[in-house]
Structure 1
Amino acid sequence: MRTGSEPMTARSALRARFWLSLWGLTWAIFGTAAFALVGRIGWAIACGVLWLVATIDMIMVLRHIRQGPHYQPGPDVPPYEPPKNPPR
């Protein structure tokens, strides 16, 4: 249920997600290089896949950060009424 205070109290976790994906990206790069150097090809491939996932996540997070804030209803928009008979 919407209370009407969301536009003023909402916070985005995108910056935290960016730093966590950067941390994961750093360790995935390190893991890929380390496992490749010691000859553990399976683990190097697994870290490489993780590297790819972290890179894609970081790109998406940066894209959302650069898009800026989206429409949020103002204080003149009343809260939504809860459903009278919620489905079970």
Structure 2
Amino acid sequence: MRTGSEPSTARSPLRMRLWLSVWGMIWALFGVVAFVATGRAGWATACAVLLAVTVVDLCVVIRHLRQGPHYQPGRDVPPYEPERGGRGGRSPHVP
């Protein structure tokens, strides 16, 4: 819900998430190689799962970056009014 108090220049930290994913991918890959080399299959599996999670996150971030900016209402669009009433007769935001 838009309240009108959001910063006008707010952006999603996708580039930071991109670099954190790359950093995590490097460390997870290092962990897989190191634990396979020392014969610790359990830890190597855990690092491989973490590697898979970071690769998926990296793909999602790249997809969102390629989509570009989405529509954001400008300063001339007033904030949305909170819903009054509803199904239960009370809005969850009104005490």
Quickly name the TM-score band, shorter chain normalised: 0.7 to 0.9
How many residue pairs align between the two structures?
87
Unaligned 5+ residue runs, structure 2?
A: 85-89
TM-score by length of 2: 0.81
Number of the residue aligned with 2:46: 46
- 1:86 equivalent to 2:87? Answer no
Unaligned 5+ residue runs, structure 1?
A: none
Number of the residue aligned with 1:28: 28
Q: Of the two structures, which has the highest relative contact order with CA contacts closer than 8 Å and spacing of 6 or more?
A: 1
Larger helix fraction of residues: 1
Given that 1:5 and 1:75 are in contact with CA atoms closer than 8 Å, whether structure 2 keeps it comes out as no
TM-score by length of 1: 0.86
**Matched residue of 1:56: which SS?**
helix
Structure exhibiting the larger radius of gyration computed from Cα positions = 2
CA RMSD of aligned residues (A): 1.8
